[in-house]
C-alpha cells in the first residue's frame, strides 16, 4: 500500500508564479517491496514549497525521516536517517520528454516520489556502525568486546564424515597400542 501525501494546490493555480509553503509531519506506513520491508522510526517531516510554473506545479524543499534497517553484518536493527531534496513537477497530464507526475484535478500526491527517494537512499549493505564486526561464524554470537576468540577449526560440512572416520581410526590405533 503506497503512502499518500495529498496537498491541494488550487490556491496557487490561478496565477503563474504564485507560491505556497508547507511544513508538516505525517506518519508513513512501511514501504514494502518484493524482498524488503522498510519501516519508519519517526514521522516524515515535509518542509516544502509549491509554485505555479504555468506548465504545472513545482514542488521543492526537504523531506526527511528515519527508517529502521537491518545491519548486513550483525543482523541487528538500527535507525537510519533519510532525506529527500524534493524538486518535482506535477502537471495536469503527462508531459512528453519530461519527468513529471500527474495531478489528480488540483491535488498533488507526494507519497510515491517520497517513497522512491527514501528507498534509493538506503545503502545496498546497511551497517549499524562502520566498526560492526558482525556475527561469529563458529558460534553464531555477536562479535563484541565480550566475545571470546575460538580455537575451533572451521570444518567444511561436506568433509565432516571423513573427519569422523579418520578420528575413529586414530582412537582404535591408540586402544591397540595400550593393550
* Domain annotation covers residue 75: yes
* Domain annotation covers residue 74: yes
* Domain annotation covers residue 82: yes
* Domain annotation covers residue 81: yes
Dihedral, CA of residue 92, residue 94, residue 96 and residue 99, to nearest 10:
100
pTM listed for this prediction: 0.74
Report how far Cα 104 is from the mean position of its chain's Cα atoms: 29
* Domain annotation covers residue 77: yes
* Domain annotation covers residue 35: yes
SS (H, E, C) 99-153: CCEECECCEEECHHHHHHHHHHHCCCCCCCCCCCCCECCCCCCECCCCCCCCCCC
Which residues constitute the domain of residue 12?
6-121
* Domain annotation covers residue 100: yes
Domains in the chain: how many in total?
Answer: 1
Q: What is the pLDDT of residue 152?
A: 61
Q: Locate cell 576468540: which residue?
A: 149
Q: How many angstroms separate the CA atoms of 126 and 38, rounded?
A: 12
pLDDT digits (tens, 9 = 90+) for 65-116: 999 999 999 999 999 999 999 999 998 887 777 778 888 889 999 999 999 9
| pLDDT tens digits in sequence order for the chain, 179 residues long | 689 999 999 989 888 899 999 999 999 999 998 888 899 999 999 999 999 998 889 999 999 999 999 999 999 999 999 999 999 999 888 777 777 888 888 999 999 999 999 999 999 999 999 988 888 877 778 788 777 777 666 667 787 788 788 877 655 555 555 55
* Domain annotation covers residue 136: no
Amino acid at each position: 500500500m503506497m503512502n499518500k501525501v495529498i496537498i491541494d494546490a488550487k490556491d496557487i493555480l490561478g496565477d503563474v508564479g504564485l507560491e505556497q509553503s508547507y511544513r508538516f509531519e505525517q506518519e508513513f506506513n512501511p514501504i514494502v517491496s518484493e524482498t524488503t520491508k522498510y519501516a519508519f522510526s519517526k514521522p516524515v517531516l515535509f518542509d516544502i514549497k509549491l509554485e505555479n510554473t504555468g506548465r504545472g506545479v513545482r514542488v521543492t524543499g526537504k523531506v526527511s525521516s528515519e527508517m529502521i534497517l537491518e545491519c548486513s553484518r550483525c543482523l541487528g536493527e538500527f535507525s537510519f536517517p533519510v532525506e529527500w531534496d524534493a524538486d518535482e513537477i506535477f502537471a495536469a497530464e503527462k508531459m512528453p520528454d519530461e519527468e513529471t507526475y500527474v495531478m489528480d484535478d488540483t491535488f498533488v500526491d507526494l507519497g510515491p516520489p517520497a517513497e522512491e527517494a527514501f528507498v534509493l537512499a538506503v545503502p545496498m549493505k546497511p551497517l549499524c556502525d562502520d566498526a560492526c564486526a558482525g556475527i561469529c561464524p563458529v558460534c553464531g554470537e555477536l562479535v563484541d568486546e565480550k566475545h571470546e576468540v575460538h580455537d575451533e577449526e572451521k570444518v567444511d560440512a561436506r568433509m565432516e564424515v571423513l573427519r569422523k572416520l579418520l578420528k575413529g581410526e586414530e582412537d582404535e590405533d591408540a586402544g591397540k597400542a595400550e593393550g
